[in-house]
């Protein structure tokens, strides 16, 4: 079962990151950031296979240009602590061809991000046999006239029954009332509590969880068996893996500048442990497969020689001719004890030695933690 990798992070001015720079990097282009007066050039990135910008309805056609789009976004988000964009990095199934990856990534992004109202600037990368996509999305939608929508809005606060909550005057203990004069007509109206909420749910945990589940479901509709993706955490899978720590955008941003936080170092060690555990599990599966093959050979040998009692591996190994010399269809030169490369017994011994080596590596990692 394959594991899900989907990373979502916010690009914001306070972290020193530029949406224009991020767009230039993922698309392998040369783009100028007007707010910084800097040009970012990544044309030599060979792993970028494909890139494009998908626009929602009501978005200006001019935003199909990457430099125009992200400079406009940064100009709109002038607040020093403002969120500028959301960036996704998603691992693609290795079973898909390049054309299938591009087509299916576009289909998923259109249905789940662009149709929701975002501009999606995405690229397909292939690096060292690792297919993945980068997707940079706007955090604002658009009004019908093509202008940017507000990030927040005021709505009535509601109680558990869905009723508006009155604004109470602390002096009188009664609901506040205000007077309005509209075109000479004086009216009074009750005041109700209002709260500020996000104009869209794109920044909510629920939206991101749903996006992950949708991606897993989408991929698995094209995958079968062990190739399918498992959306569960390592704890939910009861997997023999060391869970990774949350690194956070600050640690990852620092890593891009060559500064390695302790949490990054810890996760590097944990990944090494998990890689060793994965190899151990594979060795165990290989050993079990070989033992099963030997067991079947024992059965065939016993039947061909009319043996009435069970013959153990030790019984056959003690015979001078070895195991394979007595089994039809095998090469006598590969008898157990003969030391040949294809000897099943020797293969199990090698697997056992490798397993012990991996076990020692895991123990060593855990002792240093």
Q: Integer distance in angstroms from the first to the last C-alpha of the chain?
A: 29
Q: Is the dihedral of CA 181, 185, 186, 189 positive or negative?
A: negative
Distance of alpha carbon 232 from alpha carbon 216, whole angstroms: 10
Q: What is the mean pLDDT of residues 304-322?
A: 55
- State whether residue 32 is helix, strand or coil: strand
pLDDT at 341 over 60: no
Residue with tokens 């988000």, as numbered in its chain: 77
C-beta of residue 125 within 8 angstroms of C-beta of residue 135: no
Distance of alpha carbon 121 from alpha carbon 142, whole angstroms: 16
Residue-level pLDDT at 334: 40
Summarised one tens digit per residue, pLDDT across range 197-250 is: 778 889 888 999 999 999 999 999 999 877 888 776 555 554 566 776 766 657
Q: Cβ-count burial of 176 within 10 angstroms (0-12 exposed, 13-18 middle, 19+ buried)?
A: middle
Distance of alpha carbon 119 from alpha carbon 146, whole angstroms: 12
Summarised one tens digit per residue, pLDDT across range 146-184 is: 999 988 788 888 889 889 999 998 999 998 998 888 888
Residue-level pLDDT at 103: 97
Report residue 267's pLDDT band, with 50, 70 and 90 as the boundaries: confident
pLDDT at 115 over 60: yes
Q: What is the mean pLDDT of residues 321-331?
A: 42
- State whether residue 119 is helix, strand or coil: coil
Residue-level pLDDT at 59: 95
Outline where the chain has alpha helix (H). 19-27, 66-76, 98-109, 205-220, 248-256, 262-304, 313-318, 344-368
C-beta of residue 286 within 8 angstroms of C-beta of residue 294: no
Listed residue (99, 148, 144) closest to 119, CA to CA: 148
Distance of alpha carbon 172 from alpha carbon 174, whole angstroms: 5
Distance of alpha carbon 82 from alpha carbon 99, whole angstroms: 37
* 301 CB neighbour count, 10 Å cutoff: 18
Side-chain-facing half-sphere of 89: CA atoms under 13 Å: 11
pLDDT at 336 over 50: no
Q: What is the mean pLDDT of residues 189-196?
A: 88
- State whether residue 363 is helix, strand or coil: helix
pLDDT at 20 over 80: yes
Instruction: State the pTM of this model.
Output: 0.60
Q: Cα–Cα distances in Å, from 339 out to 145, 336, 350?
A: 79, 7, 12
HEC string of 288-306?
HHHHHHHHHHHHHHHHHCC
pLDDT at 318 over 70: no
Side-chain-facing half-sphere of 87: CA atoms under 13 Å: 22
Higher pLDDT, 294 or 58: 58
pLDDT at 329 over 80: no
């Amino acid at each position: 079962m394959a594991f899900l990798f989907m990373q979502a992070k916010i690009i914001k001015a306070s972290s020193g990151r530029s949406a224009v720079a991020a767009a230039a990097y993922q698309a392998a282009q040369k783009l100028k950031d007007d707010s910084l007066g800097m040009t970012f050039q990544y044309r030599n990135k060979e792993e970028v296979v494909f890139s494009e910008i998908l626009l929602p309805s009501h978005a200006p056609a001019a935003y199909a240009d990457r430099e125009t789009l992200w400079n406009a976004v940064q100009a709109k988000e002038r607040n020093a602590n403002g969120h500028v964009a959301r960036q996704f990095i998603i691992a693609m199934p290795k079973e898909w061809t390049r054309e299938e990856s591009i087509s299916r990534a576009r289909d998923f992004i259109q249905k789940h991000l662009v149709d929701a109202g975002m501009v999606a600037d995405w690229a397909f990368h292939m690096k060292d046999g690792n297919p993945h996509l980068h997707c940079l999305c706007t955090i604002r939608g658009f009004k019908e006239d093509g202008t940017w929508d507000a990030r927040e809005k005021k709505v009535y606060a509601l109680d558990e029954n869905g009723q508006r909550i009155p604004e109470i005057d602390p002096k009188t203990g009664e609901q506040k009332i205000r007077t309005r004069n509209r075109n000479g007509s004086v009216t009074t109206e009750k005041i109700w509590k209002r709260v500020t909420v996000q104009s869209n749910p794109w920044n909510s945990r629920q939206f991101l969880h749903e996006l992950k589940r949708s991606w897993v479901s989408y991929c698995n509709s094209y995958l079968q068996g062990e190739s399918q993706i498992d959306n569960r955490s390592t704890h939910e899978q009861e997997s023999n893996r060391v869970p990774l720590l949350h690194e956070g955008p600050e640690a990852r941003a620092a890593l891009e500048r060559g500064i390695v936080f302790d949490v990054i170092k810890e996760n590097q060690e944990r990944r090494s442990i998990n890689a060793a555990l994965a190899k151990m599990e594979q060795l165990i599966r290989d050993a079990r497969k070989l033992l099963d093959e030997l067991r079947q050979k024992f059965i065939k040998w016993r039947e061909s020689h009319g043996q009435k009692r069970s013959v153990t591996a030790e019984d056959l190994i003690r015979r001078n001719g070895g195991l394979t010399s007595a089994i039809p269809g095998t090469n006598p030169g590969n008898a157990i004890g003969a030391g040949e490369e294809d000897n099943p017994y020797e293969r199990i011994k090698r697997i056992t030695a490798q397993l012990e080596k991996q076990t020692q590596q895991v123990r060593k990692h855990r002792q240093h933690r």
